C-alpha cells in the first residue's frame, strides 16, 4: 500500500496559494485515477483510495500535517518508505520538479511535522515555487495566490507532477527522477 500526501492548508482562503501546490496535485491525482473518498474524522484529512494507493490532504493546517500522516500510516500499517509527500519548495525556481528520499525539512513546517511524527525516510516530490527577494517576506509569499502568469502554467506543471508521482509507486526513485526532474522549465523567465 502506498500513501501519497499533498501538503497544504484547508479552506477557500488558501486554495490557490503557493503553499497549497501539494493539495492541487492530489486533487489532480484523485481526478486522474478515479479514486473514491474514504470518510473518517480519525484521519484528520481528506482521504481517497484507488486500488493499493491512498491519497491524503491533511486538514490539520500545514504545521500539524504529521498528525494526519501518522493516523493514516498507523491505521493502514504503511511503511515510511511507501509514503510520498508532495510539497512546495522555496529553494527551487517556479515550475521545477525534483525528487528526494529523506533529508532535512529545509525549514518547511509541514515536513518538520511529518518528520516528528513518522520519521524522515519518505519520498518527496519537491515543487519549486521560487522565493521572495527578502527572507522577511517568506510567510506572505507562500500564503499568497499564484500570479496570473503562474496560474496559466499550473495545469501543465500539476499534470507533470501527478504523472511522476504515479510512476514513483511503480518504479525506483532514481528512474523516475531521471525521467521527470525539471530543474527550470523553459517557460520560466525568472
> In terms of DSSP H, where are the helices of the chain?
21-33, 65-76, 109-118, 138-142, 148-168, 173-180
Instruction: Tell me the three cell numbers of residue 157.
Output: 506543471
d(CA 187, CA 22): 21
160 is a catalytic site residue: no
Distance in angstroms (rounded) separating the CA atoms of residues 176 and 109: 26
- Which DSSP symbol is given to 39? -
Positions marked active-site: 19
Amino acid at each position: 500500500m502506498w500513501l501519497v500526501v499533498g501538503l497544504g492548508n484547508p479552506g477557500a482562503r488558501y486554495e490557490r496559494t503557493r503553499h497549497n501546490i501539494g493539495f492541487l496535485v492530489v486533487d489532480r491525482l484523485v481526478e486522474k485515477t478515479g479514486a473514491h473518498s474514504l470518510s473518517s474524522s480519525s484521519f484528520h484529512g481528506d482521504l481517497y483510495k484507488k486500488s493499493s494507493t491512498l491519497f491524503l490532504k491533511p486538514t490539520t493546517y500545514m504545521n500539524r500535517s504529521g498528525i494526519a500522516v501518522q493516523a493514516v500510516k498507523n491505521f493502514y500499517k504503511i511503511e515510511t518508505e511507501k509514503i510520498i509527500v508532495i510539497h512546495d519548495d522555496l529553494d527551487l525556481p517556479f515550475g521545477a520538479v525534483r525528487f528526494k528520499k529523506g533529508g532535512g525539512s529545509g525549514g518547511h513546517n509541514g515536513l518538520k511535522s511529518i518528520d516528528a511524527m513518522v520519521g524522515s525516510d519518505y519520498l518527496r516530490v519537491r515543487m519549486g515555487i521560487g522565493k521572495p527577494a527578502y527572507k522577511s517576506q517568506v510567510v506572505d509569499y507562500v500564503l499568497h495566490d499564484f500570479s496570473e502568469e503562474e496560474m496559466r502554467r499550473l495545469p501543465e506543471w500539476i499534470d507533470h507532477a501527478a504523472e511522476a508521482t504515479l510512476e514513483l509507486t511503480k518504479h525506483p526513485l532514481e528512474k523516475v527522477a531521471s525521467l521527470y526532474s525539471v530543474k527550470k522549465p523553459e517557460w520560466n523567465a525568472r
